[in-house]
Every structure is written in C-alpha cells, then in structure tokens.
Structure 1
Amino acid sequence: MKEKRYSRNRSGNDIVSHGFLILVSVVSVFPLYYMIVSSTNTSVDVLKARLLPGGALLDNLKTLAATADFFTGLKNSLLVSLAGTLLAICITSLAGYAFEIYHDKGKDITMSVLMLSIMVPQAVTLIPMYLLFAKLNLLNSVTGYILPFVSSAFLIMLFRQNTRTFPYEIVEAARIDGLGEVEIFLKIFLPIMRPVFSTATIVAFMNIWNEYLWALIVMQSPGSKTLQIVLAGMTAGYTVDYGMMMLLALISTIPLALMFFCLQKSFTEGIAGSVKS
C-alpha cells in the first residue's frame, strides 16, 4: 500500500512539474514565435496581433532591402562585434591567466577593484566616457565603440576562475622543457581551456552586438549607425512598418542564435568550470 501511495504521489508531482515546465517554456518561446510570425505579416496584421504566419515576408524583405541604413547598420554591427570580440578575448584571457598563474596579494586587491566596477551602472559613466572619447577624437569610429568592451571585468573573472582548474604542474613542466610564457599560453593553455574561450566569445559578441545606449552616443553620424540604432530609428517616423521592423529584429537575432547553437556545449562546460572552481 505504501508503495502504491508513493508511486501515486510521485506521478502526481511529475505531472505538476512537467506542467509547470511546459508553461514556462511556452511563455519563454512565445516572444520569439511572435517575432517570426510578425515578420511574415503586414503592419496592419501585426497591430491586430495576428498569431498565424502571413504572406508578406517577401514584401517586408524588399522594403527592408530598399532601406539604405539597413546594409550600413549590418556592416557596422558585424565589424564592431567581430573586432571587439577578438580584442576582448585576447586581452581578458591574458589578464585572467596572469591573475591566477602569477598570483599574489596585490593582484587579489586589483581583482576586487575590477569586480566592484561591475556594480557601477553604465549610465553613470556615459558622460565622462563621452567627454573623454570626444577629446581623443574617437567618436563615430570602430575604436571608440569597442574600447569599453575589450577589458570586461566579467570576462577577466571568468578566465581567472577557470584558470584555477588548470594544472599548474603543466606550466612548470613546460618551463623546464624550455617553452616561453607566450608559447605555454598558446600551445597548452588555449587548447585545454577551449570551452572557456567559447563561453567568453559568446558573451563578448552578445554584449557588443546588442549594445544600444553606448552606440547611440558614440556612433552619431549616419554612416556609423549599428543595426540596433537602425532598428530603434524605425519607430521615429510618422508611420511605422511593424512587419518590416519585426523582420529586422529577427535578422538581428540570427548571428547570436547561430553562434550559441554552434558553441552551446562548450558554453555550458565553460560556465560549469567557472562555478566549480
């Protein structure tokens, strides 16, 4: 009797748990579904909250392609995201590696200061950064856009935490064999810690690609607009083509989705490694 009651209670709990997970999944996926469906509908259908696919996808695509700012924004977003991600990975991986391999109390204090910088809201630093970049003539430039992202405190912490799981004996053995510090980092550390680099790549690319506020301030000329600025500007006119706007929003999510699906296994391993350490 006890076993039957236990099995009934367990089956009842499973039903509740699965029902809750299904509900959360539907709520999470619905915005993406609505964006995809809306990109195939006309602006009128989007305002009517139509939930079924329409036949206006090609028309929306043609209208979007005729928009001069679209290709400019796409090119600028890809340029700043790829260049910024590459620089961010190079700088933060070296910093995180050095913080742990060449560990001392001074570096612990420096790391604590870096972690405190994460708590400072971005809006607080916008005016000082704008004035600084204006004096350095870095407005409307790729360099001015990506500089705030290349030394992310979060990525430095991520690399440092994962470096704690890296066997220090390998470093000592490599030094005995005559390898230099740069060779140890490139030939030994980088291949072993590949999941961490994948995780950092996704985080860095996502942060730079989705950035809006800093892009709005520093990229002011028409030729330097990113895709997020172009998307936000579509609501500034007298009439808004919501179908085309949803299509642009969908296109802007494709690079992030592709990168995550290609690197999701390594992303999970990298996050798990930083938590375990």
Structure 2
Amino acid sequence: MTVAAKILKYVVLAMGLFLTLGPFYWMIVGATNPSGEILSVPPNLIPGTFLVENFRNLLDNVDIFRALLNSVVITVTFTLLAGIFSAAAGYAFAKYKFRGRNVIFGLFLGSMMIPYQAMIIPQFQLFANMDLLNSYSAIILPQLAYPFAIFLMRQSMQSIPDSIIESARIDGCNEYRIFFRISLPMMLPAIGAVSIFLFTHQWNNFLWPLVALVTEDMYTLPLLLSILAGQDNLDYGQLMLAATISVLPIFIAFLFLQRYFIAGIAGGAVKE
C-alpha cells in the first residue's frame, strides 16, 4: 500500500470516527451548558459549568431516577430471561432432530418480517384481558422468544461437536446438565453478543411501552425523553442531560461484553 493510500485510509477513518462520535460529544457538552447556548451559531463545543443546574432543573421537572429504575429492572430482567430462552431454543433447534424442526424454525424467521405495528392492537387486547397493562410484565413478556436471538444461538450451537454431547450422555449426564454445564460455557461469546442485542433492544424500546404503560411512575427513559422533548418550554440542557443518562448504561454494557461481541457474531456465521 502506497503512502497516499495509507493517508487516504486514515482520513476516511477519521471522518467516520467524527461522524460517529461527534453527536455523542455534542450531547455531553450540551448537558453542561444552559439551554440558550446549545443551539448557538457557531456551536459551542466546550464543556460548560451548568451541569449541576441542569440536573436540579431535571429533577424538579421529571422523576428521572424512577424512570431509570424502571428501565434497569425491565431491561435486565428481559435480557436474562430472553437470553436463557434463546439459548435453550437454539440448542433444541441445533441438536435435537424432531419432525417439523425446519418448518418451525422457518416460522420463527418468518415472524421477523411481520411489522411490529401490525401486532400492537391484538397484543394490547391480550394484555388488557389478562389485566397486565401498566406493569413490568407487560413490557417483559411479549418478546421473550426473540427470533433473531434464537437464530444467532442456533447457528452458534451448531459449532458444538455432536460427539461431545453424545459422550456426556454415555457418561450419564442428563439433558439439563449437558445444556447448562457443557453447552452454555462453550457458547459464552454468542451469549455475550445476544445479550448486547437484547439489552439494546429493550433499553431503547419505545412504541410498546408507550401503549402499555399508563401512569408516569411506570415510564421508562425513552418515554421520559419524549415528555421532555414535547414540552412547550423546551429546555435543551435538561433534554441533553437526560439523553446522556439514558445512553450511559448501553456504553457500560457494551464495554463489559465487547470481547464476546465479535466472536459471537463470527460464531453465528457457522453453516449447518
């Protein structure tokens, strides 16, 4: 590679980095400045000293800690349960041979093509009849069988040699022990990748919580952000601070699971 090509490559990478991280930096800077300076021309890109004042105004305006607690409880519970169900379903599709296996798996994949908006009304009627609206269960239960997570776990489970499972059965291991003690530890990269997808999906979930949650004390962070953005006297400092708080958990989750992410995606590319 010539020197000119290397320079061009680094210029393109630097531009991509700027376009990716620039909005986040502007959001963080906006959280430290008063509302009137955030949309100034030219834009102010230097952190200010208004962070504490913005935080006080935010607490006076909305219950940010309650919304944060709701999001954490819903997202962590959903990620754990959906992760277990996805791993179990992926293991069954990959390692058990039963009639209609491919048809059922195809139906799972086909469900990904159905617009989620088309399922909102019947889903709302179902949960209303079960008296589960305006609760954590209403947000956690509908997508526990997440098709993409099942697909990724199934593809990754296929990389486990059948001989290992057969040897465990010959040694007297039951199916639960084979799954939890042998298969899952071998699938940690895939589980890490699936966990990131599930966590991000539920943390950013807006449409269904908007329909299913009624009282403000049950609102999650995306709903709280919509309230702040819809106020007549919009305070951009509060909005930027709330957005920063809502983004931080995703960054933290990715930092803890990033070493599994690439390996998990690569494992999901294994052919049957």
TM-score (norm 2): 0.95
Within the candidate set 141, 144, 147, 2:141 is matched to 147
Deviation of the 1:131 alpha carbon: 1.4
AA of the residue aligned to 1:30: G
AA of the residue aligned to 2:20: S
| 1:245 matched to 2:239 | yes
Q: How is 1:119-198 mapped onto 2 (pairs within 5 angstroms)?
A: 119-198=113-192
> Would the aligned equivalents of 1:35 and 1:246 in 2 still touch at CA under 8 Å?
yes
More deviation, 255-264/234-243: 234-243
AA of the residue aligned to 1:27: L
Instruction: Give the Cα–Cα distance (whole angstroms) in 2 for the partners of residues 19 and 105 of structure 1.
Output: 55
Deviation of the 1:227 alpha carbon: 1.0
AA of the residue aligned to 1:47: L
> Would the aligned equivalents of 1:149 and 1:208 in 2 still touch at CA under 8 Å?
no
> Would the aligned equivalents of 2:112 and 2:147 in 1 still touch at CA under 8 Å?
yes
| 1:53 matched to 2:47 | yes
> Would the aligned equivalents of 2:82 and 2:145 in 1 still touch at CA under 8 Å?
yes
Instruction: Give the Cα–Cα distance (whole angstroms) in 2 for the partners of residues 103 and 14 of structure 1.
Output: 51
> Would the aligned equivalents of 2:158 and 2:270 in 1 still touch at CA under 8 Å?
no
Q: What corresponds to 1:4 in structure 2? A: none
4+ long deviations beyond 4 Å: none
Aligned residues: 269
> Would the aligned equivalents of 1:198 and 1:263 in 2 still touch at CA under 8 Å?
yes
Give unpaired runs (5+ residues) of structure 2.
none
| 1:41 matched to 2:33 | yes
Mark the structure with the bigger radius of gyration.
1
Deviation of the 1:103 alpha carbon: 2.8
- Deviation per CA, 1:37-62, whole angstroms, max 9, x where unpaired? 11111100112132221110111122
Instruction: Give the Cα–Cα distance (whole angstroms) in 2 for the partners of residues 90 and 208 of structure 1.
Output: 16
- Deviation per CA, 1:120-165, whole angstroms, max 9, x where unpaired? 1111111111111111111101111111221100000010000110
AA of the residue aligned to 1:186: F
Instruction: Give the Cα–Cα distance (whole angstroms) in 2 for the partners of residues 242 and 112 of structure 1.
Output: 46
Instruction: Give the Cα–Cα distance (whole angstroms) in 2 for the partners of residues 209 and 35 of structure 1.
Output: 19
TM-score (norm 1): 0.94
Higher helix share: 1
Q: What corresponds to 1:22 in structure 2? A: 14
AA of the residue aligned to 2:24: L
Secondary structure at the counterpart of residue 66 of structure 1: helix
| 1:256 matched to 2:215 | no
Instruction: Give the Cα–Cα distance (whole angstroms) in 2 for the partners of residues 235 and 29 of structure 1.
Output: 22
Deviation of the 1:68 alpha carbon: 4.2
> Would the aligned equivalents of 2:31 and 2:237 in 1 still touch at CA under 8 Å?
yes
More deviation, 178-187/69-78: 69-78
